[in-house]
Amino acid sequence: MIVEVENVLASEELEYLTSALSKAQFVDGKITAGWHAKQVKQNLQMQRNAPEAADLRQVVESALRRHPLFSAVVRPKKIHSILFSCYEVGMSYGSHVDNALMGQWRSDVSFTLFLGTAYQGGELVIEHADGERRYRLGVGDAIAYPSSTLHRVEPVTDGTRLVAVGWAQSLIRDPQKRELLFDLDTARRSLFAREGKTVEFDLISKSHANLLRQWVD
């Protein structure tokens, strides 16, 4: 399931991130790529051990965790390996699949948080059996998608593409089960808003809770 998550960042958080990143030191992005991805990765990343890096990562993680849609879709057990990436003119990231393990954590869901729009090109392209889908979201918006997909970033033709990327290990390992739980939760919330606490609402809530209890990892 691919989900666009709007307004992840508050305006003051976005200002803080972009201000800090404008002064940060960026290095070759290949240093965090797998051996096969190094061949197609052409971007810059903020140094992970920079003094301000941990604080910036915490801002992103906190914003994602408090967003109800992201939480409902991803059900994050751990949000990890957050990177701040910069693509200048001519830079791109060719087709690749994200590493299954990053340190001790599994990558179930990948996300890209857009921190600027002053660029051309640079679309995130996610590949499917029936074709490709292209994404370029607004400032402060994010997209979450299965880490198991092939995806790429098209070459930037003008300006600078600035994003935060990261991964989540979900409480629900199976993406189809995550989607089923999301659908049930959406349905019961809609029913409650329309009719209040009914017998039908209670039954859906019971099924949702018991499936979550059965599937949580």
Task: Compute the distance between CA of residue 174 and CA of residue 148 in angstroms, rounded to an integer.
Answer: 11
CB 14 within 8 A of CB 139: yes
Shared domain for 157 and 181, answered yes or no, is no
- pLDDT single digits (tens) 112-124: 999 999 999 999 9
Specify the CATH number for the domain of residue 80: 2.60.120.620
Shared domain for 96 and 186, answered yes or no, is no
Residue 149 has pLDDT above 90, yes or no: yes
- Other beta carbons less than 10 A from residue 168's beta carbon: 27
What does the block give as tokens for 168? 């989540």
**Would the annotation count 151 as a binding residue?**
yes
Q: What's the whole-number mean pLDDT along residues 20-36?
A: 93
This prediction has a pTM of 0.95
**Would the annotation count 158 as a binding residue?**
no
- Provide the domain limits for residue 155: 3-170
Task: Compute the distance between CA of residue 24 and CA of residue 210 in angstroms, rounded to an integer.
Answer: 47
Q: What's the whole-number mean pLDDT along residues 91-95?
A: 98
Shared domain for 202 and 154, answered yes or no, is no
Shared domain for 197 and 143, answered yes or no, is no
Shared domain for 67 and 92, answered yes or no, is yes
Share of the chain above pLDDT 90, in %: 95
Predicted confidence band at 150 (pLDDT cuts at 50, 70, 90)?
Answer: very high
Shared domain for 93 and 120, answered yes or no, is yes
**Would the annotation count 36 as a binding residue?**
no
What does the block give as tokens for 26? 């960026």
- pLDDT single digits (tens) 30-40: 999 888 889 99
**Would the annotation count 98 as a binding residue?**
yes
What are the beta bridge partners of residue 112?
143, 165
Shared domain for 96 and 197, answered yes or no, is no
Shared domain for 25 and 103, answered yes or no, is yes
Name the domain boundary from 170, 186, 205. Answer: 170
| Structural domains counted in the chain | 2
What is the chain's mean pLDDT, rounded? 97
pLDDT of residue 36: 85
Task: Compute the distance between CA of residue 215 and CA of residue 171 in angstroms, rounded to an integer.
Answer: 8
Shared domain for 166 and 205, answered yes or no, is no
Shared domain for 122 and 84, answered yes or no, is yes
Residue 168 has pLDDT above 90, yes or no: yes
Residue 129 has pLDDT above 90, yes or no: no
Shared domain for 125 and 205, answered yes or no, is no
Q: Residue 16: CB partners within 8 Å, gap ≥ 6?
A: 59
Shared domain for 63 and 157, answered yes or no, is yes
Per DSSP, the residues of the chain read --EEE---S-HHHHHHHHHHHHHS-EEEGGGGS-TTGGGTEE-EEE-TTSTTHHHHHHHHHHHHHH-HHHHHHH-EEEEEEEEEEEE-TT-EEEEE---SEETTEE--EEEEEE----EEE--EEEEETTEEEEE-PPTT-EEEEETTS-EEEPPEEEE-EEEEEEEEEESS--HHHHHHHHHHHHHHHHHHHHH-S-HHHHHHHHHHHHHHHHH--
